[in-house]
Structure 1
Amino acid sequence: MARVSQAHLDARRRQILDGASVCFARNGFHATSMQDVLKEVDLSAGAVYRYFSGKEELIAAIVGEVLGQVREAFEEEARHIPPPPPDILVSSVLGRTLAAREALTVDGRPAFPRLVVQVWTETLRNDELSAILREGYAGVREAWARIVVAYQDAGMMRSDVAPDHVARTMIAAVLGFIAQQSLFGPAPVEVLRDGLRALMSVSPPLSDA
């Protein structure tokens, strides 16, 4: 029997993850069955279960992959001395994250923002998924905190604010932007970039004295 290449195995796993992502984004986690996933990816049960034992393992893999990619992107930027300013950095990383999944759509709209909202909902009842999300979130926060320290060391950012506070705020901006896309429709990452740029330009009003 011919040996299956690693490239083939990786491509099949990617096919399953992408199909499951579309299903979860379309109908939510609980309303999606493994039969729905099998139909979406056009594979047999045996082919899919070779990679994933069920819905829980699928959603965990999807979440872990996304958070891992985001963390790695921020860690890469943190190695630059100094890192790009927040408006450029955030729009670059988010743009890459969205572009990597732009082919996944539900009713002609990007599936990824809807999937993010579905994951948030599921974490309220799924302790295992909640733990994966907390771990991934902590990794992204740590990467962002290192970036803030680099800003402060370079004199680009005031030093009297805790790096973790800035990290949480930037993550909140990104997550809020993704949630808006899910609720109100797609928007280019330049919207977030320009908004951050404007906020960064705020300075105290001149004294009347």
Structure 2
Amino acid sequence: MRRIVKRMIRIEGRDAMPKVTEAYREARRTEIADAALRCFAEKGFRGTSMADIIAASGLSAGAIYGHYASKEELFVAAAQHVLSARTVELEELRAEHGPLAPGEIMAALIDGMRQEVITPNLFLQVWAEAAIDPSLREMVHRFLAPARQMLRGLVAEWAAAHPDIAGAEPEAYARRVVPVLMGLAPGFMVQRAILADFDEEAYLATVSALIPR
């Protein structure tokens, strides 16, 4: 009987599947998204296939599709990763300096984005194609929605602290100002991509000073 019990224990131990933790799944998703970013940066969004991403990741097709159904999903995940990093940076600035002026918010956001592997040229490509491709338009909306929400919150906070500039309705002020602020990022990216003499630092300094403290 004792031998039978030991044999059962050995069989159960051998057959038991290791539990996959959420941290492991998130790390794997990040690994796949990073591989996709490298491909997008090298070949552009349209020029990148899922086969390219699979090869760059070193993982199996099953491992990739177990997390992402398409390169569109991967782009959204990568873009959200970029946005998360910018959110952390803005929160650190806010903790150090208090409510950030709208110009400061956008200058910090653009500065962080230009450091990323996912290049401004890639964002320009996707935005341009989104104008004529409904599926890409939906993808861009999914990325921009949390970005707009974050910016509205930060601008409304600053507006509430500066009624002399923003008026008595900070939420209304934020709704008016955020679309203008968001237009500054594509302006930066377009000029950076096509103008050899574009002064990035002067652009960011001017954006920061547009609505001073």
Shorter-chain TM-score tier: 0.5 to 0.7
1:145 Cα shift?
3.6
| 2: CA distance, partners of 1:50 / 1:88 | 40
Whichever residue aligns with residue 178 of structure 1, its letter is: M
Q: TM-score by structure 1 length? A: 0.68
Conserved 8 A contact 2:106-2:208? no
Distance in 2 between the 1:16 and 1:188 partners? 34
Change (3 A) 1:138 1:49: closer
User: Which residue does the alignment assign to 1:159?
Assistant: 167
1:25 equivalenced with 2:41 (yes/no): yes
CA distance in 1, matches of 2:161, 2:40: 43
Deviation at 1:122, TM superposition (A): 3.4
The aligned counterpart of 1:169 is 180
> CA offsets per residue over residues 144-165 of structure 1, 9 Å max, x none?
3444444443335243995333
1:84 matched residue in structure 2: 100
**Paired AA for residue 160 in structure 2:** D
Which residue number in structure 2 is paired with residue 194 of structure 1? 205
In structure 1, give the amino acid aligned to 2:165. Answer: M
User: Is 1:51 equivalent to 2:47 in the alignment?
Assistant: no
- Indicate conservation of the 8 Å contact 2:37/2:78, yes or no: yes
Which residue identity lines up with residue 44 of structure 1 in the other structure? S
- Residue 108 of structure 1: aligned partner: none
Return the letter of the residue paired with 1:133: V
State the structure with more CA Rg.
2
Distance apart, 1:171 and its partner CA = 0.9
The match for 1:114 among 116, 121, 124 is 121
TM-score, normalization: structure 2?
0.67
Instruction: Name the structure 2 match of 1:3.
Output: 19
8 Å contact kept, 2:35–2:53? yes
1:181 counterpart residue number: 192
Structure 2 unaligned segments of length 5 or more: list them.
1-16
Q: Give aligned pairs, total.
A: 191
Q: Secondary structure at the match of 2:19?
A: coil
Higher relative contact order by CA 8 Å / sep ≥ 6: 1 or 2? Answer: 1
Tell me: CA distance 1:36–1:188, structure 2 relative to 1, closer, same or farther (3 Å). farther
Seq. identity, %: 28
Counterpart of 1:140 in structure 2 is: 147
